[in-house]
Structure 1
Amino acid sequence: MTAGTPAALDVGKLYAARLQAARARPYLATALFALHAVESRQVPTMAVDRHWRCYVSPVFVDRTPVEELAGVWVHEVAHLLRDHHGRGDRVARERGLTGRGERLRMNIAADLEINDDVYGDGLVRLRGAVLPGHLGLREGELMEDYLRQFRLGPGLRELVWLDCGSGADGLERDWDLGPDGAHGLSGQERDAVRFRVARGITGRPGSVPEGWRRWAEEVFHPPQPWRELLGAAVRSASSGAGSGDDYSYGRPARRSAAVPGAVLPGLRRRPPRVCVVVDTSGSVSDAELGSALLEVAAICRAVGGRRDLVTVVSCDAAAQAVHPLCRSAGIELVGGGGTDLRTGFDRALRSRPDVVVVLTDGQTPWPRRRPPCRTVVGLFPRETARRSRSEDDPEYRPDGPPAWARVVTIAPGGH
């Protein structure tokens, strides 16, 4: 090679690194080998698009050891498996985030989500890879959570080079080949890859990081139409008049001008507080309890990802402890006896929520009085049986949810 001639892509080194990545993370092998490498001198390192192409800088491959390249392969495929491009698009719409600066912030937040799961156990961390601890943040959170916790500034100047491509934040790049370009995967093929990887993860209990296990669980229980309805019902309830409203002197009322010498507080909207009451009685199956935990995560997303504003009460004939939904730690659902969700309502209302969400099969007495906040009921369906008036009769069916509750039926084929 003569002086000044651009280096050719070292394909052998690149693919050796991919093989090393597959050996270190065998449950990701299907996804790693589904990526099609595209040589590009426009990308700073390696980047992906939403169609599962991996754009590779020859200069970057030439100067990076195989051990570090293996970690980059896993990093990039993690963006695609976790749908960071689709999630980035949704967050941008919901929060009004525009411009390359906000997309860079999404890329950083997506990296924070996956980097604590990528490295170690045979994979070397790339120099410059950002971890939550570098920004003083906790590990184990999601991209949407991290986005709320940092802003771009002088302290992040060293990350301006970061560009994992449209597969990491949803914003198309000049080098993208687009949906009609060669070697891209169709939507059906992408879903098939995700499903096979998820199946491989669930088949390796105890040997996979928590973030990947959580992802695999969601892949096996994809969003259903009734889940969208449940989320819409929660959003509607939390945005109604009086929900999430409070007075603040930080934003004086406009009518203060009519009262000289006085500053009147203005009405501001704060994020809604949601309390989820989960029916843990003996008539609710383990599968339905697992579904309930997934609905808690969906409810959290419906209110903007603020886990600190969501609490969970498990209830059979008596209400159990209130669990704040912090991080991704498991929530213990205690119960198994009879059913009386009136005690769950009482416990939930002590925290003065804006919305109460009840996940139940409906075989319970209901409060006689309408709660002072909006109520949404996610109902696990039951076959119709004759109605008995005696609660001691095994075929006893109490009245259905009251008219003041917004009811969403959770389809039996959803999980």
Structure 2
Amino acid sequence: MRQLTAVESRIRKARTTLLLDHPFFGTLLFRLAGKETSSVETMATDGVSLFFNPAFVDTLAASELVGVLAHEVLHPALQHHTRRGNRSPNRWNEACDYAINPLVLDAGLSLPKGVLVDKRFRGMSAERIYNLLDAEQNDKAGDKQSSRGSDDPVAPITVGGIGQVLDAPEPKFAEDKDIAEQARDWQIAVEQAQTLSKIAGKVPAGVERSLFAAAEANIDWRELLRRSWSEALPADYSWMRPNRRHLWRGLYLPGITRDGVGEIVVAVDCSGSVNARQLSLFEAEIRSILEGQRPERVHVLYFDTQVHKTDVYSYGEPICLTPAGGGGTDFRPCFHWVEEHQVPAQMVVFLTDLHGTLPEEEPDYPVIWASTGSLRASFGQVVPMRAA
């Protein structure tokens, strides 16, 4: 049996400390196989292996090593290794570290000096933090990350980084698990670790909220908005347009008819709760949806505690959102405006963070809340845009 090196012994001792004192982190950490390497400056994980540079480990005090290991295992626990997409590896690592480090510190663990912590990002998902970071950080050395599953990994170099996240390895053989399977395995492991830590009475502060935010960030808000929109609009069945999906089977079933809808109301919260990027993304998606739905008329309301401005677009006119206002938020004036102007609204769609006063009674038309915040509404369908 091979004798452990001094660094390996320190890591084993730190793993044991986590398992006893912080079972959530400790249980998950045993899923990662330790691999010594000099190709990463600090530590890195792809959700399968824990790569560590012995020179870096030697710089850490015992308590800091425990904290860095907890930091590292949070990357796959929050699915950071499967959620990067086409984002810059370097900037993605920054965003992930900003999301993780407060959780480690709130759990009473120690981290080395100079780690990435910013109170602006507390409670945010890595996706939202990524979008808020300065675009100038996008083109640094870490953008040349090695491909998935490399035997000699190259982790992005991040100022203040102590443990990087690599993409989950692509399967090389038929028996290997694909990315989706790896993500599911970690989800199950996290649920089991949560159960174990609850039994021990040692659930780390803020982790459950971050796990929820991570799951929500995986939802494509565009698809959810389209689905909610489609479900809310009236449709009818007609034998004049048979359902072509079933014709090949000799079944003549009625098809759905959508010859355009009536009037739609889009309400934009101008209290400062929606940033320029979110406004632009929302506008582009609304335009795309409207092209397919062909509404007779679209009313756009700009409001805070009152409706400051309205625009009307007829069928075929592309909408252009130009916010006006500022201050608090009260949703009731929007519903009053619809009633006072006798608009036969097929639907009202809000772009807001949902921080405001809602009417006591639900209107008799569908309401969709494209929400940039974390609140829930007492009625209507909430489409989370927090990661946008």
1:63 to 59, 64, 70: 59
Q: Which residue of 1 aligns with 2:79?
A: 83
The Cα offsets for residues 203-237 of structure 1, whole Å up to 9 and x where unpaired, read as 67895323x12245579999899x99534435754
Separation (CA, whole Å) in 2 of partners of 1:206 and 1:20:
13
Residue 244 of structure 1, CA deviation: 8.4
Is it true that 1:194 corresponds to 2:175 in the alignment?
no
The answer on whether the counterparts of 2:19 and 2:25 sit within 8 Å (CA) in structure 1 is yes
Residue 128 of structure 1, CA deviation: 2.2
CA distance 1:221–1:132, shift in 2 (3 Å): closer
Residue 21 of structure 1, CA deviation: 2.4
Calculate the aligned-residue CA RMSD, in Å. Answer: 5.0
3-state secondary structure, aligned to 1:87: coil
Amino acid at match of 2:130: L
The answer on whether the counterparts of 1:199 and 1:216 sit within 8 Å (CA) in structure 2 is no
Which ranges in structure 2 are unaligned for 5 or more consecutive residues? 142-156, 230-281, 291-297, 303-317, 324-329, 333-348, 364-368, 384-388
Residue 106 of structure 1, CA deviation: 1.3
Q: Identity rate of aligned residues, in percent?
A: 19
Amino acid at match of 2:209: R
The answer on whether the counterparts of 1:109 and 1:147 sit within 8 Å (CA) in structure 2 is yes
Separation (CA, whole Å) in 2 of partners of 1:66 and 1:269:
54
The Cα offsets for residues 374-408 of structure 1, whole Å up to 9 and x where unpaired, read as xx99xxxxxxxxxxxxxxxxxxxxxxxxxxxxxxx
The answer on whether the counterparts of 1:244 and 1:270 sit within 8 Å (CA) in structure 2 is no
Separation (CA, whole Å) in 2 of partners of 1:42 and 1:200:
35
The answer on whether the counterparts of 2:66 and 2:109 sit within 8 Å (CA) in structure 1 is yes
Residue 120 of structure 1, CA deviation: 4.8
Q: Which residue of 2 aligns with 1:43?
A: 40
The answer on whether the counterparts of 1:48 and 1:166 sit within 8 Å (CA) in structure 2 is yes
Q: Any residues of structure 2 matched to 1:291-330 within 5 Å, and which?
A: 309=353, 317=361, 328=374
Is it true that 1:151 corresponds to 2:146 in the alignment?
no
The answer on whether the counterparts of 1:85 and 1:166 sit within 8 Å (CA) in structure 2 is yes
The Cα offsets for residues 329-352 of structure 1, whole Å up to 9 and x where unpaired, read as x55x66xxxxxx7xxxxxxxxxxx
CA distance 1:243–1:117, shift in 2 (3 Å): farther
The answer on whether the counterparts of 2:125 and 2:213 sit within 8 Å (CA) in structure 1 is no
3-state secondary structure, aligned to 1:83: coil
The Cα offsets for residues 8-45 of structure 1, whole Å up to 9 and x where unpaired, read as 56211011112222333222332111111111111111
Which ranges in structure 1 are unaligned for 5 or more consecutive residues? 1-6, 247-265, 278-298, 335-340, 342-357, 360-375, 378-415
Task: State the TM-score, normalized to the length of structure 1.
Answer: 0.48
Separation (CA, whole Å) in 2 of partners of 1:220 and 1:38:
29
Q: Which residue of 2 aligns with 1:410?
A: none
Separation (CA, whole Å) in 1 of partners of 2:299 and 2:50:
46
The Cα offsets for residues 310-339 of structure 1, whole Å up to 9 and x where unpaired, read as 5687677458xxx996754x55x66xxxxx
1:11 to 8, 13, 22: 8
Q: Which residue of 1 aligns with 2:224?
A: 230
The Cα offsets for residues 89-127 of structure 1, whole Å up to 9 and x where unpaired, read as 1xx3xxxx4xxxx32111111111111111255411222
Separation (CA, whole Å) in 2 of partners of 1:14 and 1:28:
14
3-state secondary structure, aligned to 2:204: coil
CA distance 1:139–1:318, shift in 2 (3 Å): same
Residue 199 of structure 1, CA deviation: 3.2
Q: Which residue of 2 aligns with 1:52?
A: 48
Task: State the TM-score, normalized to the length of structure 2.
Answer: 0.51
Q: Which residue of 1 aligns with 2:114?
A: 128
Separation (CA, whole Å) in 2 of partners of 1:141 and 1:222:
10
3-state secondary structure, aligned to 1:77: helix
CA distance 1:200–1:240, shift in 2 (3 Å): same
Q: Which residue of 1 aligns with 2:208?
A: 213
Residue 201 of structure 1, CA deviation: 5.6
Amino acid at match of 1:16: K
1:23 to 3, 6, 20: 20
3-state secondary structure, aligned to 2:134: coil
Q: Which residue of 1 aligns with 2:104?
A: 118
Residue 71 of structure 1, CA deviation: 0.5
